[in-house]
Amino acid sequence: MEQNKKEEIHISVRNLVEFVLRSGNIDNRRTTAPDQAMQEGSRVHRMIQRRMGSDYHAEVVLRHPYETEEYTVVVEGRADGIIDGTEATPVTVDEIKGTYLELKKIKEAFAVHLAQAKCYAYIYADKNKLKEICVRMTYCNLDTEEIKYFHSSYTFMELKEWFEDILTQYKRWTDFEFQWKRSMTQSIKDLSFPFPYREGQKDLVTYVYQSIYHGKKLFIEAPTGVGKTISTVFPAIKALGEGLGERIFYLTAKTITRTVADDTFQLLRGKGLQMKSVILTAKEKICFMEETECNPEYCPYAKGHYDRINEAIYDLLTHSDNFSREAIEEYAKAHQVCPFELCLDMSLFSDAVICDYNYVFDPHVYLKRFFADGVKGDYIFLIDEAHNLVDRGREMYSAVLCKEDFLKLKKSVKEIDGKMEHYLEKCNKELLALKRECTNYRIEEYISPFVMALQRLSSVMETYLEEYEGRHAVHENEIRAEILDFYFAVSHFLDIYERVDENYVVYSEMREDGSFNLKLFCVNPAVNLRECMAKGRSTILFSATLLPIQYYKGLLGGEGGDYEVYAKSVFDPERKALFIGSDVTSRYTRRTDMEYYNIASYIHEIVKNRHGNYMIFFPSHAFLQKVYEIFEDYFADKGSVECILQEDRMDERSREEFLNRFAWNDDCDLSQMIRMDVEIEDEKSLLGFCVLGGIFSEGIDLKRDSLIGAIIVGTGLPLVCNEREILKNYFDEKGGSGFDYAYRYPGMNKVLQAAGRVIRTAEDVGLVALLDDRFLNHSYQKMFPREWEHFEVVTADLVAKRVERFWDGWL
């Protein structure tokens, strides 16, 4: 009975053997491509398992408790197959691996694969009191479906001694984890909400906790100022303390929101919380080398990485709770290991993982440490700015190949690999046949001949990459990098092809530049996203713009039993004016110089009554430029108005400088302004001309006088293009409103995001002007949030008086 009360530490079979047994170099020249193929052989698993007889049991879940004095280590996983024994042969554990390698080149089972199989063999033998058991390693060529077996047999005592040695090596890690979890749990019990609750905030915290408790998804429409980050993080932490979860994943689309999440965990640590967290940083950003070339000949951090990595992890683990980018880089340099791999490894020892969506959802980037073994974890997913996940989901589960890329690579490999050249040309011919039938875009019902040719090409590329060891001329080294990049694109396409179902549209397209593409378009990502969320206990999806809620709930994998809540805005509605211009529009049919003049006049009339910072959002850069030129010519008083423009492409520094201009009213250092030779004016307005849906319309936080108005020109409708029309037709055929799904809902989300830049704190006062008569239509007003219930309809000749009346009430 006492044993049942012991705390449990869970680890998957794969993570255990890969962690304990790893050694040597990181070397993508020899392992990247084959390893990826072996991880993506689910089709082969199903094929082999179906061929087996009634004595073959597929996907057998195995679990082994390993008792220590204070706690229990639970090793768990899923064996690909268990074959019943006979009088003549023992029970056999089958471990299946798919590869594009020629099987004759595999002389023996890979050590890490055999170790996984031996773990399953021990667990099964122990559970069923077997004195001996066999292991069969099954390697299957993904192209030819040829199979090669490696057999080995073990006594139970051999496996027991080997397995316990593995766990003994791992024990210092579980000892640390056990003590840490105790400290963390106690600190969570003692933790209180760090602020006085705003109106409705305690209810929101309760909704989040209850959703986690019941293992459901919760969709939250949370207006600005609700405090959605602390209102989701705090109850998730409390749930961890109650044993309702083992790890929090805070998922975001943008770097700025990852920083906000990290600040929240730091704030709670300051209130006594003991919790370890990591921010996952992209390899390209955190790599110490000029090129992200992961091989020991180029990178000193790759050479012997696996010999040193575990000591680096333990050092960082025992000296820090916040595994920030700076901490990762410091310890990676000290131990001479790859910072990106150290970052990923620290996620295994983190109670909270702050990362981009793709680490959970992208089929090629997701954290295999947590999500690859088919074992459901008690993970809590907190998805910030969840409206972004619709398009990101479509992107992650779609794939595209360009005909011209096959021809380009064919020219490169002509002299070095005739077989690859042949299959590149074969793929090109199949695409050429599709191209002849396509004038603009075409829905493709049958692409099997191309896919078969692509599979053969993938096999040839796989073999080349496996045999290549960097012993070639510089020219061929460059070609090898080109082949590797194209191989990944081909692998992604083939993997997505396995997923194609009624939620996909396959289409070909002639591009404006003359190129020809074939795309597997994931129109509805709900099934794929839901499948990923099912790997955790509960998912909380929240955004300031999640309207209409049923649209987002449907596309983001919501189910009938999931919850939804509209968090009450804490702001005084009197502090914000909402105006709708009834005599202007951004419709294409009305885009004339006169309409541009009318919009410029509106802007002038709105901003002339109070100096301050305004952002004006336009449907496109071209539209922006037209209005800007007219505004400058007819309305801009150089002494009282300055205009700055969002450029078509802005690097990180340019974006920061643009935003700093708005922050100067509050926070900018005067000496910084002088250094940058900025004219300081007390009575001057700053107008930022921006693009709706662009980098400045979402995720920026301009408080108090940093921004006193947002003027939004147009309804945000995406440009008409082939893909939008495919979306429209798809949802029309499904009985929904295709125009809403393809155009109106995404457009309105951009409008709401841009409007949300104005009122950021309870002290803010500001105005939002919607310059398009379409906002007066019911189809748009039904998407207005509750806090937009009261608005004023204005015209160009009256708006100045309405704006003046609003400001007079506050100044």
Backbone angles phi, psi at 781, to 5 degrees: -65, -25
Residue 641 Cα distances to 39, 332, 611, 619, 681, angstroms = 59, 50, 8, 23, 10
Q: Across the beta sheet with 792-794, what order do the strands follow?
A: 641-645, 685-691, 613-618, 709-713, 766-771, 576-581, 792-794
Instruction: In whole angstroms, give the CA distance from residue 273 to residue 186.
Output: 9
Instruction: In whole angstroms, give the CA distance from residue 393 to residue 558.
Output: 14
Instruction: In whole angstroms, give the CA distance from residue 41 to residue 295.
Output: 25
- List strand residue ranges (DSSP E) for 459-552, in order: 504-510, 516-522, 538-543
Q: How long is the chain?
A: 811
Instruction: In whole angstroms, give the CA distance from residue 313 to residue 348.
Output: 10
Sign of CA pseudo-dihedral 66, 72, 78, 84: positive
pLDDT at 140 over 90: no
pLDDT per position as a tens digit, 121-132: 999 999 999 999
Query: 């440490």: which residue's tokens?
Result: 369
pLDDT per position as a tens digit, 564-616: 999 888 788 888 999 999 999 999 999 999 999 999 999 999 999 899 999 99
CB 272 within 8 A of CB 187: yes
Highest mean pLDDT among 24-33, 534-543, 644-653: 534-543
Q: pLDDT class for 700, splitting at 50, 70, 90?
A: confident
CB 772 within 8 A of CB 714: yes
pLDDT value at residue 340: 96
Instruction: In whole angstroms, give the CA distance from residue 226 to residue 659.
Output: 24
The candidate with the shortest Cα–Cα distance to 238, out of 194, 278, 200, is: 194
Beta bridge partners of 264: none
pLDDT value at residue 370: 87
pLDDT per position as a tens digit, 222-276: 887 788 999 999 999 999 999 999 999 999 998 778 899 999 999 999 999 999 9
pLDDT at 87 over 90: no
Q: What does DSSP assign to residue 144?
A: T
Q: pLDDT class for 675, splitting at 50, 70, 90?
A: very low
Q: pLDDT class for 361, splitting at 50, 70, 90?
A: very high
pLDDT value at residue 475: 61
Q: pLDDT class for 419, splitting at 50, 70, 90?
A: very high
User: Is CATH 3.90.1150.10 the right assignment for the domain spanning 573-808?
Assistant: no
User: Is CATH 3.40.50 the right assignment for the domain spanning 3-172?
Assistant: no
Residue 374 Cα distances to 61, 120, 500, 532, 534, angstroms = 9, 14, 21, 11, 11
Q: Concatenated DSSP letters for 317-384? A: HTT-SEE-HHHHHHHHHHHT--HHHHHHHHGGG-SEEEEETHHHH-TTTS-HHHHSSS----EEEEET
pLDDT per position as a tens digit, 56-73: 998 899 999 999 999 999
CB 775 within 8 A of CB 781: yes
Sequence-separated (6 or more) residues with CB below 8 Å from residue 191: 234, 237, 238, 241, 268, 271, 272, 273
Instruction: In whole angstroms, give the CA distance from residue 755 to residue 711.
Output: 8
Tell me which H or E stretch contains 740: none
Residue with the larger pLDDT of the pair 677 and 17: 17
CB 77 within 8 A of CB 375: yes
Q: Which CATH architecture has domain 215-275+351-397+525-570?
A: 3-Layer(aba) Sandwich (3.40)
Sign of CA pseudo-dihedral 219, 224, 226, 227: positive
Q: Once rounded to an integer, what is the mean pLDDT over residues 331-348?
A: 96
Tell me which H or E stretch contains 390: helix 388-396
Q: pLDDT class for 168, splitting at 50, 70, 90?
A: very high
Residue 57 Cα distances to 78, 84, 85, 138, 288, angstroms = 11, 8, 12, 15, 47
Lowest mean pLDDT among 219-228, 351-360, 384-393: 219-228
Share of the chain above pLDDT 90, in %: 71
pLDDT at 422 over 60: yes
Q: Once rounded to an integer, what is the mean pLDDT over residues 752-772?
A: 89
Whether the upstream peptide bond of residue 548 has omega within 30° of 0, thus cis, is yes
The torsion angle over the Cα atoms of residues 712, 714, 720 and 721, rounded to 10 degrees, is -10
pLDDT value at residue 142: 74
Q: Once rounded to an integer, what is the mean pLDDT over residues 693-708?
A: 80
Instruction: In whole angstroms, give the CA distance from residue 359 to residue 141.
Output: 28
pLDDT at 101 over 80: no
Sequence-separated (6 or more) residues with CB below 8 Å from residue 169: 20
Residue 198 Cα distances to 153, 228, 569, 674, angstroms = 65, 11, 10, 40
The torsion angle over the Cα atoms of residues 348, 352, 356 and 361, rounded to 10 degrees, is 70
Residue 515 Ramachandran class (φ > 0 left, ψ -120 to 50 alpha, else beta): beta
Residue with the larger pLDDT of the pair 480 and 380: 380
CB 661 within 8 A of CB 644: yes
Q: Do domains 399-522 and 573-808 have the same CATH topology?
A: no
pLDDT at 49 over 50: yes
pLDDT at 808 over 50: yes
- Map out the domains of the chain as residue ranges: 3-172, 215-275+351-397+525-570, 282-350, 399-522, 573-808
Instruction: In whole angstroms, give the CA distance from residue 465 to residue 481.
Output: 10
Half-sphere exposure of 613 (CA within 13 A, CB side): 21
What are 146's two structure tokens?
A: 């040829």
Sign of CA pseudo-dihedral 477, 481, 482, 486: positive
What are 454's two structure tokens?
A: 């692509």
Looking at CATH, the fold of the domain delimited by 399-522 is given as Fumarase C; Chain B, domain 1 (1.10.275)
pLDDT per position as a tens digit, 485-530: 999 999 999 999 999 999 999 999 999 999 999 999 999 999 999 9
Q: What does DSSP assign to residue 104?
A: G
Backbone angles phi, psi at 706, to 5 degrees: -60, -30
pLDDT value at residue 30: 53
pLDDT value at residue 676: 40
Q: pLDDT class for 687, splitting at 50, 70, 90?
A: very high
Q: pLDDT class for 805, splitting at 50, 70, 90?
A: very high
pLDDT value at residue 672: 43
Residue 701 Cα distances to 418, 423, 447, 645, angstroms = 56, 52, 47, 19
pLDDT per position as a tens digit, 602-648: 999 999 989 999 999 999 999 999 999 999 999 988 778 999 999 98
pLDDT at 35 over 50: no
pLDDT at 281 over 90: yes
**Single-letter residue type at 124:** Y
